Chains A and B, each alone.
Chain A
């Protein structure tokens, strides 16, 4: 290529290597989704070409000068069937394929590492279980399934990582989840993609993917001291949760050890899985989540606790597998004054019953 100026050639090469039509593939699901995307591009190109060819060919062949007398044709059932069935077939393939990918993206595996993300106008707060907090960034390791539990503190936001091909709305009032497994270390864009007000376009950040060793080092270096669960334990005590949830035989509230992941029998006869969403809801709307055998006396903590606080409590309860420390604290915590001298409500069962283990 000696007749092309070397400067121009350099520019061309640089532009072509940097100019991409799709984002880097940095997660396990990305190539799978791209495969479907490219299939659709191919089908679209073929379809578009057919339409354009038909129009162009017919326009040329049957232009008035060349074909002055039109032939009135009513239609053709065969053709109608063809261009109904073939598009329908192709669309159905895309439906099934897309649905499979969708299920994959929103069904986290059981061993996924969970990170909480709270969106608020106009920043993202990520909370690792070990207590590391990040604002507008998220550090994650390669080769490990990572689940994000998202919630918003105010309006709808949407957590989007184009390089991973994942996106999930962060909604006020309930948790949403998404998971991914990063494959390539690097820094990738994080965007808020649901219009949320003035600084919507500034609610962006970095997803930093590291090798597992680097990630371990980062974790060790960024901890604030207390893990989420430890913070949760402190809140549990300071909000006097242990006044009722203390695993004593006459406790007014069910025992919370090992409750996460179990199927609870509720007082309305239904049985529900105690996942993060359930635990959060039970803290904020307790009267709708009364365990069988207990009275609906738990007060709501709505308004008294932020989403960060709820996350800490949820993490704490998730990790709780014994009542030892709770019982330690109950001897030093004053019970609520109005609880002194009250008769135990009728129908109450000792702690531990009313829970059906899976």
Chain B
């Protein structure tokens, strides 16, 4: 990406009166000199925005790292409450949706309207599936009183045998009371991190809905692909956050 754009199609003299009005594409905003500059700038802006998102999630990741280090047994046992099946399913769903999104970007670049709409719709559906799986997981947590706050229950950790499905697989030892308390922090971080992630998914899905509508009208297949490309970046980013969350919350130290 070059930093300083040279006006390609004519020489402009400083201070000269209005010269020949240069042709520009209908979707080029007037304050940009060329479409290439516009596309470059908006792309860069999206990368910067994603950097701010990394800093935003960073606080939660820091808290997770610190508390996991301090309360390791609680975190290990609490993580047994998450089902790898659903986590893996969600990961597969998201990675596929990133693939379909990338295909959508390609379709827009190739000006294939039908393919673009199809890809966006599949991505949309996969996003909804992700949220659906998350709903299943969250409702299970709510039932078992694992939501931090006033109704939180440590029974599954003080007495693992009271939770037969999880006990069958992991045969956890009962945690002492003061360590069992810290499972609430694990679940708080679980809900905060996946919840913040889900919020970003919801925003993404809403924008996808808008995009499907506009794509059907042909807005993205005339050569103006920046919106789709930049949204693709956002979608991939949300996917990557999940790819960090999945091992940290579901996978590590499973079988200690």
A: residues with CB less than 8 A from B are 284-288, 296-300, 302
Contact = CB atoms under 8 A, between A and B. Distances in A.
B226 to A, nearest CB: 42
Contacts, number: 22
Query: Which of B73, B176, B178 has the most chain A CB atoms closer than 10 A to its own CB?
Result: B178
A288 B176 CA distance: 10
Nearest to A288: B179
B44 interface: no
B178 A302 contact: yes
A297 B178 contact: no
B177 interface: yes
A299 B179 contact: no
Contacts of B179: 285, 287-288
Q: Categorize the interface residue count of chain B.
A: under 10
A285 B71 CA distance: 11
Nearest to A268: B72
B249 interface: no
Given A286-B178, A288-B179, 8 more contacts: A284-B178, A285-B178, A285-B179, A287-B176, A287-B177, A297-B176, A299-B177, A300-B178
A286 to B, nearest CB: 6
B117 interface: no
B175 interface: yes
A269 B176 CA distance: 19
Contacts of A288: 178-179
16 contacts: A284-B178, A285-B178, A285-B179, A286-B176, A286-B178, A287-B73, A287-B176, A287-B177, A287-B178, A288-B179, A298-B176, A299-B176, A299-B177, A300-B177, A300-B178, A302-B178
Nearest to B179: A287
Contacts of A285: 178-179
B41 to A, nearest CB: 32
A286 B178 CA distance: 7
A11 B176 CA distance: 70
A287 B177 CA distance: 8
A299 B158 CA distance: 12
A353 B171 CA distance: 31
Nearest to B176: A287
B183 to A, nearest CB: 12
A297 to B, nearest CB: 7
A299 B175 CA distance: 11
Contacts of A296: 176
A297 B179 CA distance: 12
A287 B70 CA distance: 12
Interface string B97-135: 000000000000000000000000000000000000000
Interface in B45-90: 73
A285 B74 CA distance: 13
Interface in B141-183: 175-179
A254 to B, nearest CB: 16
Contacts of B178: 284-288, 300, 302
Nearest to A302: B178
Nearest to A300: B178
Q: What are the nearest 7 A-B pairs in CB distance?
A: A300-B178, A287-B176, A287-B179, A285-B178, A300-B177, A287-B178, A296-B176
Most chain B CB inside 10 Å of its own CB: which residue of A286, A288, A299, A302: A288
Nearest to B73: A287
B59 to A, nearest CB: 20
Contacts of A299: 176-177
B72 to A, nearest CB: 9
Contacts of B177: 287, 299-300
A302 B178 CA distance: 8
A288 B175 CA distance: 11
A2 to B, nearest CB: 72
A342 to B, nearest CB: 15
B60 to A, nearest CB: 21
Contacts of B175: 287
Contacts of B176: 286-287, 296-300
Contacts of B73: 287
A284 B176 CA distance: 12
Q: Tell me which of B73, B176, B177, B179 has the highest count of chain A C-beta atoms within 10 A of its own C-beta.
A: B176
Nearest to A289: B178
A95 B177 CA distance: 45
Interface string B18-59: 000000000000000000000000000000000000000000
A305 to B, nearest CB: 13
